[in-house]
């Protein structure tokens, strides 16, 4: 199996990093708006049968932000591996990670076989 092209991989990771950063900024702005809305003592969305409450929305945004920040950290780690020349190699067994896996999960640290053995690790 051929190792991924570092230039192509780096470009893909940089694009994914920009998307993730934009998503974090957007969700942070939405979270700030929700927090501001809940600070208003007159806001009573608990009885709105049409939608979720501000508290639920705030909780969902916080969880999404956390996942996006973890993803950003993983992308940054993958970019470091590109720089070191170790990108595309499984950190567990050392084999080349299938390029199709890297296309779907550009920040993957493990081959499919090792990732299946260690389900607690997302990447």
Q: Which domain holds residue 67?
A: 6-87
> Looking at the predicted structure, is the pLDDT value of residue 114 above 70?
yes
Q: Kindly state whether residue 100 falls inside one of the protein's structural domains.
A: no
**Residue 120's pLDDT band (boundaries 50, 70, 90)?**
low
pLDDT tens digits, one per residue of 63-109: 999 999 999 999 999 999 999 999 999 999 999 999 999 989 999 99
Mean pLDDT score of the chain:
87
DSSP letter assigned to residue 51? S
Q: Kindly state whether residue 23 falls inside one of the protein's structural domains.
A: yes
Q: Kindly state whether residue 74 falls inside one of the protein's structural domains.
A: yes
Q: Kindly state whether residue 1 falls inside one of the protein's structural domains.
A: no
Total domain count for the chain?
Answer: 1
Report yes or no: 58 and 31 within 8 Å, Cβ to Cβ. yes
**Residue 45's pLDDT band (boundaries 50, 70, 90)?**
low
What pLDDT does 48 receive? 55
Q: Kindly state whether residue 62 falls inside one of the protein's structural domains.
A: yes
Q: Kindly state whether residue 93 falls inside one of the protein's structural domains.
A: no
Q: Kindly state whether residue 12 falls inside one of the protein's structural domains.
A: yes
Q: Which has the closest alpha carbon to 90: 102, 104, 103, 72?
A: 102
What pLDDT does 51 receive? 54
* C-alpha 46, offset from chain centre: 31
């Amino acid at each position: 199996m051929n190792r991924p092209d570092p230039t192509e991989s780096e470009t893909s990771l940089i694009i994914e990093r920009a998307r993730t950063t934009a998503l974090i900024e957007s969700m942070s702005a939405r979270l700030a708006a929700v927090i501001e809305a809940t600070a208003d003592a007159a806001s009573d969305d608990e009885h709105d049968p049409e939608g979720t409450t501000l508290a639920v929305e705030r909780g969902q945004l916080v969880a999404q932000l956390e996942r996006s920040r973890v993803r950003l950290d993983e992308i940054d780690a993958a970019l470091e591996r590109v720089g070191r020349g170790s990108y595309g190699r499984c950190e567990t067994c050392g084999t080349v990670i299938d390029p199709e896996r890297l296309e779907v999960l550009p920040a993957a640290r493990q081959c499919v076989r090792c990732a299946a053995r260690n389900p607690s690790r997302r990447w």
